[in-house]
């Protein structure tokens, strides 16, 4: 018996150590939430001869404009103003620039007053969604019809090039609609044209051939293929937009399709949308062309470079930006900005073949983007960003030189790295959401959560007494663990529905304890002793709690997989809450119960338990009657 008790105590001490280490880890990760991020504005003097402004003057100036400064500090490098409200950043910067003029350089940064060791361990508070922190909302329109037209236009150029190579004369091509190409040719060229089109349809099997007459054939996209093309274009655009936003460093953004041809982008915490608008709204494509140097050309494009030279380009691109695998900004040996490109296997083969046959000849890099004009029509704007001679046989890696500035090289590499867009994308709606709305939502959500927790704690303490207090401690540890887990995961974002998920998590955590405590009551009523009833109650209720949480977890995973925005935020809190409530409601609560209740009590939760016969009572039992019975039966004791 002594050996078994020692092993049991050893097992429980090992289990308690694991639970304690896990709780400490979660609490440490939740601590950064006590130090919210603040916006600080730095004022740097441009001249030592100018009279320095004082913190008192700055504070008076801000108050006169209904702006509140939390603190204003001075140092050798300048003056730092910490704003009480993050939403006042842009207004404060504009007012200070207008007031101070050229005497000071005004910059802003987001920082927190958390201890240095938090920052050294990359510990951050929970990221807030658009409905809580404020930010920018974009709605983009994707012109899939124009994308289909441009795609067929490229096929038409390929047909024209093949007809020149195969010496098919008198052929003319037109695009009467976005989804068709009309091909007119002399009757004498009918067999050659049909052979050419069979080659074209092998590379583009989605096209169907409709023979109108002996001198006219129409290539067109069937309705089902048009639907597939539009869906593929939207998927590609969504992927490219998410890549661009990740390159901007906004990890908690939401990008989702809205309707058939629109994309909704939410950028929480972004209060200066100009940079994001410039990157998101750009439909950037990069194409590489050969100069038209002979009549053996399918078509000619006339363009002017930055120096004013007029160039004639072969309308068929050598390869396009879709072949670009990676793009990084850098510098050449002279320190001039450039963009280093890495192509995929298809683009690398095209570049190798072209450069090998054109060493010493120029290659033109054309940057194109779409935008809406004053008549709300989509217009394609192209410009030559580079004209360079091919100095050697190139492969899948080469550089674009003569960039105008390092910033231009950075932006171009970002756009190309995130993916060029096949369809014109324009911003049809932009809305700034003030952080004050988010502050009201947070306050209301915290009030609802607080009221729910207070009533829950009171009920558990009154109804289940000692075990209810243990459940309340486990519930508090559950909320802290959930905050720590959300702070630890980079993709977790707290939204207003997420606060509703927190309230739901409180109910789920208490539900596990209610099931356990009611089972303990049943065991006590059956006559079990206190410690035995507790052990049986936890063990018997565990399977029921596990089954209920698994079914809820499946629902949460489905919501997270197919949902976006608020639905996804709710699903994250729900799934993480299930994990923490199982941990604290079962394992932590059991460990606390074993620590508090170490002996069989006569009453537990108002129910009388079975009395245990003590060793002292057993020693006082009479021995003689037992000996007499033994003698009568002839049994030797």
DSSP character string of 250-314: -TT-EEEEETTTEEEEEEET---THHHHHHHT---EEEEEEB--SS--S-EEEEE-TTS-EEEEE
CATH number at residue 25: 1.20.1640.10
Q: How far apart are CA 488 and CA 490, in angstroms?
A: 6
Q: Residue 439 corresponds to which tokens in the numbers above?
A: 């502050």
Rg (CA), the chain: 37
CATH number at residue 69: 3.30.70.260
**Stretch 422-448: mean pLDDT:** 74
Q: What is the pLDDT of residue 374?
A: 61
Q: What is the pLDDT of residue 48?
A: 56
CB 389 within 8 A of CB 360: yes
Overall pTM surpassing 0.85 (yes/no): no
- Assess whether 25 and 71 both reside in one domain: no
Classify residue 559: in a domain, yes or no: yes
- Assess whether 544 and 574 both reside in one domain: yes
Q: Which of 174, 190, 224 is the last residue of a domain?
A: 224
Q: How confident is the model at residue 127 (pLDDT cuts 50, 70, 90)?
A: confident
Q: Which of 343, 341, 339 is nearest to 403 (CA)?
A: 339
- Assess whether 585 and 441 both reside in one domain: yes
Classify residue 586: in a domain, yes or no: yes
Q: How far apart are CA 106 and CA 80, in angstroms?
A: 10
Q: How far apart are CA 592 and CA 139, in angstroms?
A: 52
CA within 13 Å, CB half, 198: 6
**Stretch 111-116: mean pLDDT:** 72
Residue 165: pLDDT above 60?
Answer: yes
CA within 13 Å, CB half, 267: 26
Classify residue 92: in a domain, yes or no: yes
Q: Provide the 3-class DSSP secondary structure of residue 111.
A: strand
**256 against 557, higher pLDDT:** 557
Q: What's the pLDDT tens digit per position in 474-496? A: 988 998 998 888 888 766 777 77
Q: What is the pLDDT of residue 637?
A: 34
Residue 633: pLDDT above 50?
Answer: no
Q: Residue 455 corresponds to which tokens in the numbers above?
A: 């009533």
> E strand or H helix at 102, and its extent?
none
- Assess whether 58 and 90 both reside in one domain: yes
Classify residue 628: in a domain, yes or no: no
CB 294 within 8 A of CB 110: no
Residue 238: pLDDT above 80?
Answer: yes
**Stretch 161-177: mean pLDDT:** 83
CB 142 within 8 A of CB 238: no
Q: How confident is the model at residue 3 (pLDDT cuts 50, 70, 90)?
A: very low
Q: How far apart are CA 435 and CA 133, in angstroms?
A: 5
Q: What's the pLDDT tens digit per position in 294-328? A: 555 556 778 887 777 888 887 777 777 667 777 78
> E strand or H helix at 538, and its extent?
helix 530-562
Structural domain for 98, as ranges? 38-111
Residue 11: pLDDT above 70?
Answer: no
CATH number at residue 421: 3.30.1360.200
Q: What's the pLDDT tens digit per position in 586-607? A: 888 888 888 888 777 666 765 6
Q: Residue 500 corresponds to which tokens in the numbers above?
A: 């509703």
Q: How confident is the model at residue 437 (pLDDT cuts 50, 70, 90)?
A: low
Q: Which of 61, 91, 111 is the last residue of a domain?
A: 111
Q: Any idea which of 95-109, 365-379, 393-407, 454-468 has the lowest mean pLDDT?
A: 365-379
Which residues are CB-contacts of 473 (< 8 A; sequence separation ≥ 6)? 592
- Assess whether 46 and 79 both reside in one domain: yes
CB 40 within 8 A of CB 80: yes
Q: What share of the chain is helix, strand, coil (3-state, %, to 5)?
A: 50, 25, 25
Q: What is the pLDDT of residue 68?
A: 81
- Assess whether 368 and 509 both reside in one domain: no
Q: What's the pLDDT tens digit per position in 27-73? A: 888 888 887 777 788 888 776 554 567 788 888 888 888 888 888 88
Burial 604-635 (b: 16+ CB within 10 A, else e): bbeeebeeeeeeeeeeeeeeeeeeeeeeeeee
> E strand or H helix at 580, and its extent?
helix 566-582
Share of the chain above pLDDT 90, in %: 1
Count each helix (H run) and each strand (E run) in the chain, helices first: 18, 25
- Assess whether 347 and 477 both reside in one domain: no
Q: What is the pLDDT of residue 41?
A: 83
Residue 141: pLDDT above 70?
Answer: yes
Residue 105: pLDDT above 90?
Answer: no
Strand order in the sheet with 378-389: 319-320, 285-290, 362-372, 378-389
**Stretch 118-141: mean pLDDT:** 78
- Assess whether 419 and 377 both reside in one domain: yes
Highest mean pLDDT out of 165-174, 430-439, 608-617: 165-174
Integer angstrom CA distances of residue 626 from 98, 295, 616, 618: 106, 126, 18, 14
Residue 619: pLDDT above 80?
Answer: no
Q: What is the pLDDT of residue 419?
A: 55
Q: What's the pLDDT tens digit per position in 533-546? A: 888 888 888 888 88
Q: Mean pLDDT in the chain?
A: 77
Q: What is the pLDDT of residue 378?
A: 65
- Assess whether 150 and 96 both reside in one domain: no
**433 against 265, higher pLDDT:** 265
Classify residue 535: in a domain, yes or no: yes
**71 against 1, higher pLDDT:** 71
Q: What is the pLDDT of residue 621?
A: 41
Q: How far apart are CA 162 and CA 592, in angstroms?
A: 81
Q: How far apart are CA 308 and CA 310, in angstroms?
A: 6
Q: How confident is the model at residue 634 (pLDDT cuts 50, 70, 90)?
A: very low
CATH number at residue 157: 3.30.1240.20
Classify residue 245: in a domain, yes or no: no
Q: What is the pLDDT of residue 618?
A: 40
Q: Which of 558, 537, 536, 545 is nearest to 510 (CA)?
A: 545
Residue 115: pLDDT above 80?
Answer: no
Q: How many domains does the chain have?
A: 4
Backbone angles phi, psi at 562, to 5 degrees: -100, -10
- Assess whether 420 and 502 both reside in one domain: no
Q: How confident is the model at residue 554 (pLDDT cuts 50, 70, 90)?
A: very high
Q: Which of 409, 431, 453 is the last residue of a domain?
A: 431
- Assess whether 421 and 504 both reside in one domain: no
CB 350 within 8 A of CB 319: yes
Q: How far apart are CA 158 and CA 153, in angstroms?
A: 9
Q: Which of 470, 467, 472, 439 is nearest to 453 (CA)?
A: 472
Q: How confident is the model at residue 8 (pLDDT cuts 50, 70, 90)?
A: very low
- Counted residue by residue, the chain has a size of 637
Q: Provide the 3-class DSSP secondary structure of residue 403.
A: coil
Q: What is the pLDDT of residue 438?
A: 61
- Assess whether 494 and 585 both reside in one domain: yes
Task: Give me the long-range contacts of 456-461 (CB less than 8 A, separation at least 24).
Answer: 456/506, 456/507, 456/510, 460/510, 460/513
Q: How far apart are CA 571 and CA 567, in angstroms?
A: 6
Classify residue 272: in a domain, yes or no: no
Strand pairing partners for 365? 288, 386
- Residue 395 burial by Cβ neighbours in a 10 Å radius (0-12, 13-18, 19+): middle
Classify residue 126: in a domain, yes or no: no
**Cβ atoms within 10 A of the Cβ of 222, count?**
12
């Amino acid at each position: 018996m002594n050996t078994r008790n020692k092993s049991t105590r050893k097992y429980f001490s090992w289990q308690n150590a694991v639970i304690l280490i896990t709780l400490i880890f979660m609490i440490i990760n939740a601590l950064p939430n006590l130090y919210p991020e603040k916006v600080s504005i730095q004022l740097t003097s441009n001249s030592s001869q100018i009279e320095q402004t004082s913190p008192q003057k700055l504070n008076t100036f801000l108050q006169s404009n209904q702006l509140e400064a939390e603190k204003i500090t001075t140092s050798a490098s300048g003056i730092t103003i910490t704003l009480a409200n993050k939403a006042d950043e842009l207004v404060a910067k504009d007012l200070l620039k207008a007031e101070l003029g050229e005497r000071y350089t005004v910059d802003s940064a987001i920082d927190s007053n958390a201890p240095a060791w938090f920052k050294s361990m990359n510990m951050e508070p929970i990221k807030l969604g658009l409905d809580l922190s404020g930010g920018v909302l974009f709605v983009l329109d994707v012109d899939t019809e124009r994308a289909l037209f441009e795609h067929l236009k490229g096929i038409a150029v390929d047909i024209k090039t093949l007809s020149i190579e195969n010496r098919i004369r008198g052929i003319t091509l037109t695009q009467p609609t976005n989804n068709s190409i009309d091909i007119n040719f002399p009757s004498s060229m009918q067999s050659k044209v049909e052979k050419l089109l069979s080659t074209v349809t092998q590379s583009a099997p989605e096209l169907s051939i409709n023979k109108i007459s002996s001198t006219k054939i129409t290539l067109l996209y069937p309705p089902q293929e048009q639907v597939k093309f539009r869906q593929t274009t939207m998927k590609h655009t969504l992927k490219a937009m998410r890549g661009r936003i990740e390159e901007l460093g906004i990890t908690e953004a939401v990008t989702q399709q809205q309707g058939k041809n629109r994309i909704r982008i939410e950028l929480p915490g972004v209060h200066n949308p100009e940079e994001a608008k410039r990157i998101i709204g750009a439909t950037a494509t990069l194409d590489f062309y050969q100069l038209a140097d002979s009549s053996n050309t399918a078509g000619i494009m006339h363009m002017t470079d930055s120096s004013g030279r007029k160039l004639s380009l072969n309308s068929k691109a050598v390869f396009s930006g879709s072949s670009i695998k990676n793009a990084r900004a850098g510098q050449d040996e002279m320190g001039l900005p450039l963009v280093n490109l890495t192509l995929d296997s298809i683009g690398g083969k095209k570049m190798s073949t072209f450069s090998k046959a054109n060493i010493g000849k120029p290659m033109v890099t054309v940057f194109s983007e779409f935008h809406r004009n004053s008549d709300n029509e989509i217009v394609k704007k192209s410009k030559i960003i580079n004209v360079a001679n091919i100095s050697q046989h190139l492969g899948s890696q080469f550089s674009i030189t003569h960039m105008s500035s390092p910033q231009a090289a950075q932006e171009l590499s970002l756009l190309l790295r995130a993916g060029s867009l096949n369809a014109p994308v324009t911003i049809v709606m932009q809305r700034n959401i003030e952080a004050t709305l988010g502050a009201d939502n947070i306050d209301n959500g915290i009030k609802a959560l607080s009221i729910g927790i207070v009533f829950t704690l009171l009920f558990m303490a009154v109804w289940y007494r000692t075990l209810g207090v243990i459940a309340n401690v486990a519930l508090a540890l559950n909320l802290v663990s959930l905050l720590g887990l959300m702070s630890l995961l980079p993709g977790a974002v707290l939204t207003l529905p997420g606060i509703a998920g927190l309230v739901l998590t409180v109910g789920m955590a208490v539900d596990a304890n209610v099931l356990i405590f009611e089972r303990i009551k049943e065991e006590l009523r059956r006559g079990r002793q206190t410690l035995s009833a507790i052990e049986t109650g936890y063990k018997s209720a565990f399977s029921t709690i596990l089954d209920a949480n698994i079914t809820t977890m499946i629902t949460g995973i489905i919501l997270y997989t197919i949902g976006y925005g608020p639905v996804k935020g709710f699903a994250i809190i729900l799934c993480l809450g299930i994990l923490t409530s199982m941990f604290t409601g079962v394992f932590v609560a059991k460990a606390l119960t074993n620590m508090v209740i170490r002996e069989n009590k006569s009453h537990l939760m108002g129910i009388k338990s079975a009395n245990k016969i003590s060793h002292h009572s057993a020693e006082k039992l009479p021995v003689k009657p037992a000996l007499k019975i033994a003698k009568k039966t002839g049994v030797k004791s």
